Structure 1
Amino acid sequence: MKKKQDTTIAKNRRALHEYEVIETFEAGIELVGCEVRSLRDNGCQLTDCFALIRGGEVWLNNVHIPPFAQGNINNADPDRKRKLLMHKRQIRYLSEKVSEKGLALVPLKMYFRDNGLVKVELALARGKKLYDKRASMKERDTRREIDRALKERSR
């Protein structure tokens, strides 16, 4: 039996540049109305979004899901806060870690599981300093040069 791949809706590529990922978690997301249909059609925007823990719940802020084109007047606000669905033990663990200095909850990607559910990959991350960003860019460039040289050599 062949395993079906998850369908990526949106990736937060900027987060991988800005943050050092320590640990990742999978969370469900509470959506209303035609938001799932809108995600299937239009996708969403994760560039400036972040997650906060308030009152024992995890909330996703600044995610833009455009309104569904064939929806009616009851379409939800595209920029509203959305609740993430996680186990209490995970939320407790994350709240302890986030209370440490310099750690944040950053969504990395949003995707459809093979059963049709929308999931968010949430990362426990530490912000990079400028010199860390430069080092990672230099490492990426050297890796690209090595791959290019190996490809040229194999011809």
Structure 2
Amino acid sequence: MSKADKIAEALRARLMTITRGNGYATDLGKHVYEGKQQLDPESLPAVVMIEPEDTVGETKGRDGRLPAGVWALNTQPFQFDAVARCDPDNPNRVARLLIADIKRAIFSDDLTLGGLVTRIAYTGRIIDARSFGSDIVAAGVAIEVIFQENLANP
């Protein structure tokens, strides 16, 4: 399992804790997907982990003994897109609950994911526009994780 896999799995595990039984406002954690494109309305609420393109801050050798480029400092964005049923007259109320649950799950524990990352940074949130009268709302939370990666042993 690569370091990127371990990071994604740690984030997914945190999202899976989002249940009313664990004190959250929603049961979003019952349906956590990685990159899924279409959601079944019967499986709502649900959250999809999206992994946009990463950026590399620098590459370097270790202690000057390895060639440059063996180690990379990566910034990997993650977007957590949540979808749930809502009151068509007040959809933002449910959207804000989804956002709050995701933030709490990601940021209320060790921000190094057990030493996998240097840090986790919050980069924003969104409540999507929806079709007039729809009883489904979508909201998202964006973060970045910063970590060192050995490119020869990712």
Greater RCO, 1 or 2 (C-alpha within 8 Å, sep 6+): 1
TM > 0.5: no
Name the TM-score, length of structure 1 as normaliser: 0.29
Q: If each structure's helix is expressed as a fraction of its own residues, which one has the higher value?
A: 1
Return the index of the structure with the highest Cα Rg. 1
The TM-score, its normalising length taken from structure 2, stands at 0.29
